[in-house]
Structure 1
Amino acid sequence: MQKIQNFINGKYVDPMKGQYIDNVEPGTGKVFAQIPNSSQEDLDNAVAAAKDAFPIWSTMSVDKRSRILHKLADLIEDHLDDLALMESRDNGKPLWLAKAVDIPRASSNFRFYASAIVNFSSEAQVSEGFMVNYTRRAPIGIVGCISPWNLPLYLFSWKIAPALAMGNCVVAKPSELTPMTAHLLGNLANEAGMPAGVLNILHGEGKEIGQAIVEHEATKAISFTGGTATGKVVGATASQQFKKVSLELGGKNPNIVFADCDLEEAVKTSVKSSFTNQGEICLCGSRILIEDAIYEEFKKRFIEETKKLKVGDPMEAGSNMGALVSEEHLIKVDSYVKLAKEEGGAILHGGIRLEKEGFYYEPTIIEGLDENCRTNQEEIFGPVVTLNRFSNEKEAIRVANSTRYGLSCTIWTTNLKRAHRVSHAVQSGIIWVNCWLLRDLRTPFGGMKDSGIGREGGNEALRFFSEPQNVCIKL
């Protein structure tokens, strides 16, 4: 059994207290590795290393930092197979999905910010013959990056890439459920030529070492992706020390299907947006709102396409869905299906745990629920969707906005005016029209309401991981 280590000051080291946590493979339900249960002493060592590295990294030329990050992107591509295998074993997602999406996007994150920093411009205001003001973006110092388990390396790199690009040193914590790809990243950072102490990776439980990273006086900014309840604790803790904080939290995303849509494309993509990655993506459309005129036809086709999905071994190429990340999470998902029945919902497909080793659950479709019931209001984060009717545009917008979340929304219509009108009315940070999960890294990413504060992506991330410094020179 593999026993992984923390990555501090460019070296792999055992946790100071010698404590470890079992890492369970979702596809088999068996322990396949152990990870450090890090303590305050481990964090203090990581912070000390970051403090020593900051003068070197923050003053390094932008071109040199860029070359190191480009090299890291290259190395991720070179090790795609190994990283994808570890991610699949760690998370339970199909191996083909990790190869096609997660690992390539992690490489793209580093490559994007490696290029962005050499094109990031400052501002200047000139008062002719009197003064010149210019604004530079200065690195913050040491920042804490805490990432979730659903897209392990993709979202881990999504945070640390812009932080490193701007000249910060990072103390990062991947989810204790999916530590393996972050663990492998340390060696690649060394091979890319990153100075020791610039990137430090600590493993352990969120409520312990994650909270300690947020509380530590040396971390000047916190970027967190995870559940809304935890995000409230992170935000409250960070605010007490006036730290910058970015919170990308939960979602209960509406997928609005109007009668004038391309029905075939809407059904096909809605199956993907419901069940990709076992529904364990914060952007999944878990509430499908369908106009009355096409409700029955959409439902029929949606069920037919869902029945074609194969839930199976993540290592098998034919598996459309793998295992849920943990038994605890599977029990949570199943409890919501039971709740839906109690709330009067009808299970049209799925709703059962598969009888095999590991944590497998059928894609589940539910109809007949009130828009305000718990199943339609609370984030399930699994392969469970509800079908809901609406009769007109006004009603669709009202139901779409009826939850406390506002992360993303998908709209299906061929009416251009309606597409704009509804997009502007829906309270979501991300709107997709006639598509889902298309991303341009130059655009800001984040939600409204209880889906978080702050924005990641593009120049928004570079601005978050830096502070504006104004310089005024009298002529």
Structure 2
Amino acid sequence: MKQYPMFIDGAFDNAADGRWFETHNPYTGQPWAEVARGGTADVDRAVRAADRAFRSGPWAEMTATQRGALLRKLGDLIAENADRLAEFEVQDNGKLLAEMGAQLKYLPQWFYYFGGLADKVEGAVIPLDKKGYFNYTRKEPLGVVAAITPWNSPLMLLAWKIAPALAAGCTVVVKPSEFTSVSALELAVLFQDAGFPPGVFNVVTGFGGEVGSPLVTHPLVKKVTFTGSDATGRVINQQCAAQFKHVSLELGGKSPNIVFEDANLDDAVNGAVSGIFAASGQTCIAGSRLLLQEDIHDAFVEKLLALAKTAKLGNPMEATTQVGPITTAAQYEKVLSYIEIAKAEGATLLLGGKPASRSGWFVEPTIFSDVEPKMRIAQEEVFGPVLSILKFRTEDDAVAIANDSCYGLGAGVWTRDIGRAFRMSERIQAGTVWVNTYRAVSFMSPFGGYKDSGLGRENGLSAIESYLQTKSVWVNTGAPTGNPFTIR
């Protein structure tokens, strides 16, 4: 098996204690590569390298325009290597090559967008109420950023963090998921090829307790950006609060996909299937709660089952495969346990509900009806191909059920009534609401959650602001100094 060392201070190197761990292919269930298993010493070395790069050397001396040019060059290199990077992603996380290929071909846009934005960051001149003073503001980078990424869309979610951070002038230390570390290390090669100075981009691989915690609590880290579970996010938020670090968190979801009686049912069925069975349900925005208005419930379910039954499970590298495996063995067991929980709670199993009869960690696309809002299957994030169907009567009912969750990441609304579309978009407590579509994202559009789904926003113009701090500068242009014991 190929070995992948860490990337620190512009070079690849083994862990300080020489340890390695295996990464598995979810389709075969077999290990396919070894990755360096980092620890506290490796974290400290990477953070100090990032801090040096931020404070001195080529990166610190670069203009914002020069930083932007490097980001755009990196985007070009990603575009040239998109197919190869997508294959690494599939081997590591088991998602479809069709989906990962599309993500990687789209990925350069983040570096083009934020590369172009790098020299558009502006302060302001403040029209003061005091004569004899000139006051202006500067936008300055925070410093070292710790970026902790999940296993479901490793490079795309990494780009959401590092593109604005680097555009702002920060340096980064990345801790990828221990299940999907290879693609971040392959990306590090492209950072070298693009000409980024040493220490600007670092990757420390390993496990949460050995790498993640020391990285979050390192005193030289000024911001932590994390995508993952709400339980881990809560711990990270507490750790950051203790040291007054900046933090952004993109956490879990239990997104409602709401279909009204006037919707185009065929489109809504496609949206429901896309929302939960694409990526085997392993997305934070999965439309895992399908809310159907009573009058269309039976007809919709019939159409839904007909389409869902045609989903082809198989090798994610093959173009004809539509549903791939669960990424990790632990997650596979978790999904199966939630299916049993739903049965025990009284939900009616309409489709699937068991492991698929093939090698690898496959779970059949699963649909439950007769789900009540307070059931665990309707409240807790499964992160797998498991759909809960709930009925509603009125618009108010739909809103009440949709918002009856600790999460608030995404939501879908299917209706031909434009007034209803606007009303529902306003009333639903979610960071993103899709109307007559689902799972659309863009480098231009803010993404993040309400409630337990996180803090802050990624993507769009506002994303770079979260990696900057504002300094106010006062210049005396002739005002008398006055009494030294009073405020000016």
**TM-score normalised by structure 2 residue count:** 0.95
Among 459, 463, 487, the residue aligned to 1:457 = 459
Summarize the Cα distance change of 1:293–1:363 in structure 2 as closer, same or farther, 3 Å threshold: same
Instruction: Give me the CA root mean square deviation.
Output: 1.3
Distance 1:121 1:104 in 2: 31
Q: Verify the 8 A CA contact 1:25 1:32 in the aligned structure 2.
A: yes
2:236 is matched with 234
1:323 is matched with 325
Partner-residue secondary structure (3-state), 1:370: coil
2:12 is matched with 12
| C-alpha deviation, 1:445, in angstroms | 1.4
2:31 is matched with 31
Matches within 5 A, 1:3-402: 3-54=3-54, 55-56=56-57, 57-100=59-102, 102-127=103-128, 130-402=132-404
Partner-residue secondary structure (3-state), 2:83: helix
Distance 1:65 1:110 in 2: 11
Distance 1:449 1:459 in 2: 22
Distance 1:236 1:215 in 2: 10
Distance 1:161 1:308 in 2: 39
| C-alpha deviation, 1:444, in angstroms | 2.1
Q: Verify the 8 A CA contact 1:58 1:139 in the aligned structure 2.
A: no
Question: Deviations along 1:190-235, whole A, 9 cap, x unmatched?
Answer: 1101001100100001232011110100101000000000001100
Summarize the Cα distance change of 1:443–1:316 in structure 2 as closer, same or farther, 3 Å threshold: closer
Partner-residue secondary structure (3-state), 2:105: helix
Letter in 2 for 1:119: K
Distance 2:279 2:298 in 1: 27
Any stretches of 5+ residues in structure 1 without a counterpart?
Answer: none
| C-alpha deviation, 1:394, in angstroms | 0.7
Distance 2:250 2:156 in 1: 14
Distance 1:158 1:342 in 2: 39
| C-alpha deviation, 1:127, in angstroms | 4.3
2:481 is the alignment partner of 1:445: no
| C-alpha deviation, 1:321, in angstroms | 1.2
Letter in 1 for 2:105: P
Q: Verify the 8 A CA contact 2:48 2:220 in the aligned structure 1.
A: no
1:467 is matched with 469
Distance 1:163 1:285 in 2: 30
| C-alpha deviation, 1:178, in angstroms | 0.6
Partner-residue secondary structure (3-state), 1:432: strand
Question: Deviations along 1:72-119, whole A, 9 cap, x unmatched?
Answer: 01101101111011001100011111111x212332221211111222
2:484 is matched with none
Letter in 2 for 1:124: V
Partner-residue secondary structure (3-state), 2:261: coil
Q: Verify the 8 A CA contact 1:9 1:49 in the aligned structure 2.
A: yes
Of the structure 1 ranges 155-164 and 54-63, higher mean CA displacement relative to structure 2 is found in: 54-63
Q: Verify the 8 A CA contact 1:143 1:170 in the aligned structure 2.
A: yes
Partner-residue secondary structure (3-state), 1:288: strand
Q: Verify the 8 A CA contact 1:106 1:155 in the aligned structure 2.
A: no
Q: Verify the 8 A CA contact 2:367 2:387 in the aligned structure 1.
A: yes
- Greater C-alpha Rg: 2
Letter in 2 for 1:315: M
Question: Deviations along 1:154-173, whole A, 9 cap, x unmatched?
Answer: 00111111111111111111
Letter in 2 for 1:87: E
Of the structure 1 ranges 332-341 and 413-422, higher mean CA displacement relative to structure 2 is found in: 413-422
Of the structure 1 ranges 345-354 and 454-463, higher mean CA displacement relative to structure 2 is found in: 454-463
Distance 1:58 1:368 in 2: 59
| C-alpha deviation, 1:329, in angstroms | 0.7
Letter in 2 for 1:353: P
Distance 1:288 1:316 in 2: 29
| C-alpha deviation, 1:309, in angstroms | 1.0
Q: Verify the 8 A CA contact 1:106 1:158 in the aligned structure 2.
A: no
Partner-residue secondary structure (3-state), 1:82: helix
| C-alpha deviation, 1:59, in angstroms | 3.3
Distance 1:306 1:84 in 2: 26
Q: Percent identity?
A: 39
| C-alpha deviation, 1:131, in angstroms | 3.2
Question: Deviations along 1:396-416, whole A, 9 cap, x unmatched?
Answer: 100001111111111111111
Q: Verify the 8 A CA contact 2:178 2:206 in the aligned structure 1.
A: yes
Q: Verify the 8 A CA contact 1:365 1:386 in the aligned structure 2.
A: yes
1:424 is matched with 426
**TM-score normalised by structure 1 residue count:** 0.98
Distance 1:207 1:454 in 2: 25
Letter in 2 for 1:106: L
Distance 2:450 2:473 in 1: 34
Q: Verify the 8 A CA contact 1:251 1:406 in the aligned structure 2.
A: yes
